Amino acid sequence: MRFEPVATVRAYERVVQQIEEGVFSGLLKPGERLPGERELMTQFGVSRSTIREALRVLQAADMIRSKPGDPRGPEVLAASPVALHKSMHRLARADHLGLAELLQFRMALDGSAHLLAAKLRTDENLADLDVAFAAMRAGLDVGYAEFSRADVAFHETIARATGNPLLVVCLEVVRGVVLEQIEERLAHAQDRPTLMRTWLTHHGEVLQAIRDADGILASKLARRALYDNYAEYVPLNERALLQPLLEEADIA
């Protein structure tokens, strides 16, 4: 057996880890203040530069609000969708994640979101979907940019209808990163009007399934459409990652 070198953990990372654990466990509550720099130096047994680096990392992650020299100490912030969005976006854009993994994740998320939306949607959600769908239809004549904005609004409404802020953030991030990876190829699609009409037909079917509270059908339509629209951009030998979700959609 061959062992790999062990990465050295820097002192500021240990400081960050302990404060994060305090926040996640609830021992440190939103609005509370951490000790000042000098007291943190004493408690952790590290230098001022180490404490400042740890606070910088925690502030970048939106876990605290810190000002150098503030005698009250850094303020612990409440969990925020903004922080989750940043973390998810960094992960989704990581080099080790390819389009196949991202599309697989989106198929799983979208399928679940459509199912929940069909079961939990309100009259307000349905009204918002109607508005977005009408804007998509108008976008056929106005142009792709307008059509695309309405498409985003349609999907955002479905995400909100789940009532789960984690799904809202995750869906927004993964949808954006998938489109980033293929936007150049979409921009050069030869028959964009036909493509938009196909998407409009799909969204109409989804809207009807959600209106009918048919979560199974809405989920099936979402996964099948994602595969049909984007699988061609995934290398052939990686499409097996998508197949189980596609087979489930075909059986449903």
Given a cut of 80, whether residue 88 has pLDDT beyond it is no
Least Cα distance to 15 among 61, 60, 53 occurs for 53
For residue 5, being part of any structural domain is answered with no
Domain boundaries, position 17: 11-76
Q: Percentage helix, strand, coil, to 5, in the chain?
A: 75, 0, 25
The separation between CA 229 and the C-alpha centre of its own chain, rounded to angstroms, equals 20
| CA–CA gap between residue 179 and residue 155 (Å, rounded) | 14
163 or 87, greater pLDDT: 163
Average pLDDT rounded to a whole number, residues 206-232: 94
For residue 244, being part of any structural domain is answered with yes
Task: Let me know whether 60 and 104 are in one domain.
Answer: no
Encode pLDDT of 109-153 as tens digits: 999 999 999 999 999 999 999 999 999 999 988 888 888 889 999
Task: Let me know whether 217 and 101 are in one domain.
Answer: yes
CB within 8 Å of 186: residues ≥ 6 apart:
179
pLDDT band for position 189 (50/70/90)? low
State the pTM of this model. 0.69
Tell me, what's the pLDDT at 16? 92
Given a cut of 80, whether residue 165 has pLDDT beyond it is yes
User: Could you tell me the CATH number of the domain that includes residue 189?
Assistant: 1.20.120.530
Task: Let me know whether 102 and 71 are in one domain.
Answer: no
Total count of domains within the chain: 2
Torsion, Cα of 75, 79, 81, 84 (10° steps): 100
Average pLDDT, the chain: 86
Token pair listed for 146: 């307008």
Task: Let me know whether 239 and 122 are in one domain.
Answer: yes
- Other beta carbons within 10 Å of 23: 19
| CA–CA gap between residue 126 and residue 224 (Å, rounded) | 22
Given a cut of 80, whether residue 7 has pLDDT beyond it is no
Task: Let me know whether 28 and 100 are in one domain.
Answer: no
Residue at a domain's end among 22, 52, 76: 76
Given a cut of 90, whether residue 44 has pLDDT beyond it is yes
Residue at a domain's end among 32, 55, 76: 76
Residue at a domain's end among 76, 109, 124: 76
Average pLDDT rounded to a whole number, residues 20-39: 90
